[in-house]
Amino acid sequence: MIEVQNLSKHYGDKKAVNNISFRAEDGEILGFLGPNGAGKSTTMNILTGYISSTSGKALIDGIDILEDPIKAKSKIGYLPELPPLYLDMTVKEYLCFIYDLKKCKLPRNTHLKDICSLVKIEHVYNRLIKNLSKGYRQRVGLAQALVGNPNVLILDEPTVGLDPKQIIEIRTLIKKLGRNHTVILSSHILSEVQAVCDKIVVINEGRIVADDTEDNLSKKLSSDHRLTVRIEGDQDKVVKLIEGIKDVETVDIGAKHDAAVWEYRIEAKEGSDIRRELFTRCADRGFIILEMKSSELSLEDIFLRLTMGDGIGDGGED
């Protein structure tokens, strides 16, 4: 369990983290969402005892990280933004070093073997870390966090630098770990957090913009009512047709793609789903839908939404 109470960190006059509080229970994956420089890494560094807070408390399984750092740290596995790897060691030497450093009591060889097969680094076990690609280094970093089977895992952007297949693997792994660990993971990718986490905390400029439990964030951020469609047919008629659909609020005309093919960005009332009606109407009139997708919300959109209420902002593309 992780509990953060009124945590602040000031660098001179700059407030990197400003009075934030949140909680993650056992067996819960908490997603920490925010743009670069929002204070995600600073918060994680405070939680792990790497830096200290200016005020406020961080409790790991009920232990204050400042009062009993050694005991609290022994419950944490931490993957920082940049995996803290000694490049001149082999993966094996490095993991053994971490094993010793954490004063781990589990049977060494089997424990390390298990971790390696979990993050799929068995076949590079005897290679120098210096010679590994970024994706593998990231995995070794993750393996390092898992050594000693700590209760709490704190992962700072764990999927950065991985290829799409690895990203899916790591996400699945984190989900699996989330069943019996408390996991905090940070990301600036909304879909990632939505895919993996039970709970989302959105942070911007050192403040919590939204906490899932209070605001029911996932519903708010659902994007089925914002569509980007590509339709073949006369522009004016298509616009008229779309505007005719119930619940549609705005229609924007995007780029022209081909002769008589335009892109349209449609925003409907929140919570409504107009895809079926759009399809049948177009089919009736003989307009051909070439492409239809829900618009991904960019982080800016999210902040606009969360800080300024509903339905503002157009052009929801990344």
Partner 1 sequence: MGAVFRRETLSYFTSPIGYIFLAAFYAFSAFSFASNALQYSTTKMDGLFQQLMIILIVLIPILTMRTLSEDKKNKTDQCLLTAPVSLGGIVAGKFLAAFLIYILGVAITLVYAIVVSAFAAPDWSVIFGNIVGLVLVGGAFIAVGIFFSSLTENQVVSAVISFIALIALYMLTTIGEVIPSDFIEDLMPDLGPVWRTVITEALVIGLTLGIFFLFGKKAGVLIFGFIAMLVFGVFAAKGELMPMIFEKLSFWERYVGFTYGLFDMSNALFFISAMVVFLFLTVRVLEKRRWA
CA distance 163 to 166: 5
From residue 312, give the alpha-carbon distance in Å to each of 35, 154, 188, 209, 280: 19, 34, 21, 16, 28
Question: How many binding residues for partner 1 (CB under 8 A)?
Answer: 30
> Which listed range, 98-106, 117-125, 198-206, 259-267, lies at the site for partner 1 (CB under 8 A)?
98-106
- Smallest gap from residue 35 Cβ to partner 1 (A): 22
- Smallest gap from residue 45 Cβ to partner 1 (A): 8
From residue 127, give the alpha-carbon distance in Å to each of 30, 108, 121, 163: 34, 19, 10, 21
- 89 lines the binding site for partner 1 (CB under 8 A): yes
- 123 lines the binding site for partner 1 (CB under 8 A): no
CA angle 53, 56, 57 (to 5 degrees): 90
- Between residue 100 and residue 119, which ones bind partner 1 under the rule CB under 8 A? 100-103
- 57 lines the binding site for partner 1 (CB under 8 A): no
Q: Which residue is it, tokens 């089919």?
A: 283
Site string for partner 1, 63-82 (x = CB under 8 A): -------xx-xx-x-x-x-x
- 259 lines the binding site for partner 1 (CB under 8 A): no
- Smallest gap from residue 78 Cβ to partner 1 (A): 5
- Smallest gap from residue 142 Cβ to partner 1 (A): 13
CA dihedral for 241, 243, 246, 250, sign (positive or negative) = positive
CA distance 84 to 290: 47
- Smallest gap from residue 96 Cβ to partner 1 (A): 9
From residue 104, give the alpha-carbon distance in Å to each of 60, 71, 98, 223, 256: 18, 13, 9, 45, 62
- 144 lines the binding site for partner 1 (CB under 8 A): yes
Q: At 13, is the secondary structure helix, strand, or coil?
A: coil
- Smallest gap from residue 318 Cβ to partner 1 (A): 29
CA distance 294 to 288: 18
Q: Which residues contact partner 1 (rule: CB under 8 A)?
A: 11-12, 45, 48-52, 70-71, 73-74, 76, 78, 80, 82, 84-89, 93, 97-98, 100-103, 144
